[in-house]
Amino acid sequence: MRLSLIFFITLITLTQGKAHPDSAKPFFSVGLRSHYGFVILHSQDIRPIGQSFPWGVSLDFSWHYNSKKAFDNCLCFPRLGIATTYWDYDNPEILGQGITSVFFIEPFFGGQHKLNFSFRSGFGLAYANNPYDEVNNPTNLSYSTQLSFALMFGANINFRISNRLTMSLSANYNHISNGGMNEPNKGINYPNVGIGMDYYLQKKSIFKSFRRSDWKTTIENKNKFFLWFFATGKQLSDSEELKRYSTIGIDGRYSRQVSRINAINLGFEYMGDGAHKEEIKRCGKNTDHKKGGILFGNEFLLGKFNFSQQFGIYIYNPYKRDADVFQRYALDLQLTKNLFAGFGLKAHGHVADFLDFRIGIRL
């Protein structure tokens, strides 16, 4: 799963807290969009689905922030919302139809002008009505549970027709997967183009021009050190639907802030994979199920939220079950000054390995 599509650049708006002298109430809008795309055949295992061209219709409800404080956080006007989409995957015998409902964030750049652009990314749930079945649908290796996770990323060109009405053209990338919780789980990857309209309920939904402030004067320390503990349960095979094997690990990280909303990081990960341990036991092999690697990447600093993307290389991986390189994605929330919690996803190429729950401390 290529999850570089996730770009949570403005969740900071959720943590604006008490009213600020220059704050303003967000504009509420309702949107309607249509989508048309194609399924990427990213693996030989999903060749049976052939060339499929999904289409969809979505209904959006969103809040568009327009205060000076929101602008200072990202030099943009962020919008938060929920998009619910009906999808027909153009392959009723194998893929069927589905519904996705995602929470999205969408920073608007140049929002004070009639013509502007924005980036939308979202995470949520997906329902699909024709999952893998050993007897009735054995060729659907894309998803094996009716309920899965949905991820999306898109770029938009927006044109304000009036104070209340905006038109948009978009290019999006969508992914559906159960995060390795059930097998088979090749996922559905489908880019699409879309056209839509947004209607603002306020009479004068106008965004002001603000002067940017110096981000360096607002931070205490550019350099930070973290220690994370993560855990999850993994399925060994699709024949053991209810059986999960514990996977736990630790993650150490050094992070240095380099801009208003960005930091670069370097770290390590060491974990024990319970599913691999059981697999090794059943095969009668004499090798270690633990693995460790080094990681580096980027973080989007979003107030109390932090979205990180990392590329990793195993330096200890005796059981060569997976590739020697991997990706890590995590969305974390600051609970106290030095305590954090969140969710992470680990993937090898286009295939998700697992979703985990994580607790972290700042050292």
Q: Which CATH class is domain 215-362?
A: mainly beta
* pLDDT value, residue 284: 85
Q: Environment class of residue 59 by beta-carbon count within 10 Å: exposed (0-12), middle (13-18) or buried (19+)?
A: middle
pLDDT in tens, the chain (363 residues): 433 333 343 444 344 444 343 446 889 999 999 999 999 876 666 666 768 899 999 999 999 988 887 787 777 888 989 999 999 999 888 899 999 999 988 989 888 889 999 999 888 899 999 988 888 888 888 888 888 889 888 999 999 999 899 999 999 999 888 766 777 777 888 999 999 999 999 877 678 777 776 667 667 778 999 999 999 888 776 556 557 788 999 999 999 998 877 899 999 999 999 888 988 988 888 889 999 999 999 998 876 778 899 999 999 999 988 889 999 988 888 899 899 998 888 888 777 788 889 999 998
CA–CA dist 180, 353 (Å, integer): 5
* pLDDT value, residue 242: 59
Q: Are the C-beta atoms of residues 85 and 56 closer than 8 Å to each other?
A: yes
Asked whether the CA dihedral 122, 127, 133, 138 is positive or negative, the reply is negative
Question: β-strands 165-177, 147-160: how paired?
Answer: antiparallel
**Which runs of consecutive H residues, i.e. helices, occur in the chain?**
68-74, 274-283
Domain 3-200 shares a fold with domain 215-362:
yes
> The CATH number of 3-200 is which of 1.10.1740.10, 2.40.160.20, 1.10.3720.10, 1.20.1580.10?
2.40.160.20
Q: Are the C-beta atoms of residues 299 and 308 closer than 8 Å to each other?
A: yes
Residue 213 per-residue DSSP state: P
CA–CA dist 220, 308 (Å, integer): 20
CB neighbours of 206 closer than 8 A, spacing ≥ 6?
112, 163
* pLDDT value, residue 57: 97
What is the DSSP annotation of 16-37?
--S--TT--PPEEEEEEEEEEE
Q: Please state the domain extents for the chain.
A: 3-200, 215-362
CA–CA dist 130, 14 (Å, integer): 36
